[in-house]
Amino acid sequence: MAYKPTRQLCVYIVAEDGSPDVCKIGITELLSRRLGSLQSQNWRKLSISAAFPIETADLAWEIEQAMLHIFEVKRIRGEWVRVSPTEMEVEIVNYLKAIGVKSENVFSSGKSNVIKMWANQ
């Protein structure tokens, strides 16, 4: 049986301030908590570059794995890649279109309260 999230899942992109060509892709239900967890392990300031609400855990995992495959030669470690957050965002949007999924990046389009939205679910 597939995992049923109790909160809104999202695929997110995190960027390191001062490293315009490095980002991380990930999946979470609690975006603010995940950012805090990542920040506690990174000496550079991190910020959310994009967040896409996704309906199912299977689809979120598929998107994450597809992006890691696309950028395999640029992988630094784990889910960190030497790619600009914008380039990653474009690839996610293109992938979603290609598989017929409508999803909007609810973060980078000026909706900075998205972290609060996911934090309070």
Q: With respect to residue 64, please indicate whether it lies within any of the assigned structural domains.
A: yes
Q: With respect to residue 18, please indicate whether it lies within any of the assigned structural domains.
A: yes
Q: With respect to residue 4, please indicate whether it lies within any of the assigned structural domains.
A: no
State the pLDDT at residue 115.
42
Q: With respect to residue 84, please indicate whether it lies within any of the assigned structural domains.
A: yes
Q: With respect to residue 80, please indicate whether it lies within any of the assigned structural domains.
A: yes
Structural domain count, the chain: 1
3-state secondary structure of 98: helix
Confidence of residue 107 (pLDDT cuts 50, 70, 90): low
pLDDT tens string 24-70 = 999 998 887 887 788 777 777 888 889 999 889 999 999 999 999 99
Q: With respect to residue 3, please indicate whether it lies within any of the assigned structural domains.
A: no
State the pLDDT at residue 44.
78
Domain that residue 103 falls in: 9-119
3-state secondary structure of 86: helix
Sign of CA dihedral 71, 72, 73, 74: positive
Q: With respect to residue 100, please indicate whether it lies within any of the assigned structural domains.
A: yes
Question: Crossing angle of helices 85-98/57-70, nearest 10°?
Answer: 120
